[in-house]
Structure 1
């Protein structure tokens, strides 16, 4: 039975699985099964459903091709490495992402793009629908490194250290990027609320 992707034993085994997959390519399937859902979910939120499937597949294709370069001294967990590959692929599709965010900012019916969650309260969904276009516009206006750091934390659930590994920058840089991104989002959303009043 496979362990859940967030269980510590699963993360500890990633490095060993990747090392074994160099001589036994079939072993890589365990890393794919363990992390595909999280990578796909994050990509779906970043680039939308049609592109997420392709980018998730490309993420694991590149990871498979580079599995001999995984550095277990840095981390035993493959998630930051995989999210780093996925983030680089998103950079390759930056223009379409920005176009999508700008289109969502202009959308009259933001509710249509919000995932349906029957367990969430109606007030929370209404708030999200009201703020959706402003959030999309604010995300589109962020610098790419700030947006990446913010969405790796918010949508992928990575901690600061994992974001640092995924993006290849020091943890202090991650903290700075997140601080700037949050400040810019607060300012943009504050301005949006003032306009709405």
Structure 2
């Protein structure tokens, strides 16, 4: 085996069993995405730690990785979601701050037009409050779909739950968020992606 950078994730992990330094390729591929996801949920300060801890945990667990899964992205997001879940109070506090101020610097940086930014900020507060009110499991599923762009199958892999459970949690979370927003559509700019409220 020669190893990355052209190899799929499973090949990188397999090679890393003999050559541990090769595992850094997964960090190069996914660290920015994991960091962005963690920052959305816990803020920049905690995102650094979550990202580092995600890859450290993945490195330690690489001998148990199912090499039949070419894409390690769901696995990494699952580790990150579990670490974030251990910081539930921090996440709920961050969502509470967002609910009060309506300011989300990560999402705001994605909005190109001033009018869109004003509209997005108006919705962010209510949306953050709705997210804070969700159970940890429902919030994980909703945000892995909406912010990490994982498919239902990838969320199931990430959280080690059946696809049916992903669907039911997602439907419940969407229903609660819609109700909290007065049945309005929380999808603005790139904030929540269309998946947050549609199929």
Q: CA RMSD in A?
A: 2.1
Note the C-alpha offset of 1:29.
1.1
1:177 matched to 2:169? The reply is yes
Structure 1 residues 112, 82: CA separation in 2 closer, same or farther (over 3 Å shift)?
closer
Residue segments in structure 1 that go unaligned for 5+ positions in a row = 4-9
Equivalent residue for 2:146?
154
Confirm or deny: 8 A CA contact 2:141 2:170 kept in the other structure.
Answer: yes
- Residue 115 of structure 1 deviates from its aligned partner by 4.2
Gap change, CA 1:27 and 1:118, over 3 Å in 2: closer
Query: Which residue does 1:7 correspond to in 2?
Result: none
> Does residue 123 of the first structure (1) align with residue 115 of the second (2)?
yes
Could you report, residue by residue, the CA deviation over 1:111-165 in whole angstroms, capped at 9, with x for unpaired residues?
Answer: 4645443762222211111111100100000111110001001111111110000
> For 2:96 and 2:175, how far apart are their aligned partners in 1?
20
- Uncovered stretches (5+) of structure 2, i.e. residues with no partner: 186-199
SS of aligned partner of 2:144: helix
Whether 1:40 aligns to 2:35 is yes
User: Is the alpha carbon distance of 1:85 and 1:119 closer, same or farther for their aligned partners in structure 2, counting shifts above 3 Å?
Assistant: closer
Q: How many residues align?
A: 182
1:72 positional shift: 1.9
Alignment TM-score, normalising by the size of structure 1: 0.86
Structure 2 CA distance for partners of 1:51 and 1:106, relative to 1, 3 Å: same
The TM-score, its normalising length taken from structure 2, stands at 0.85
Structure 2 CA distance, aligned partners of 1:137 and 1:78? Answer: 32
Structure 1 runs (4+) deviating above 6 angstroms are none
Give the drift of 1:96: 1.1
Residue among 61, 67, 71 paired with 1:72? 67
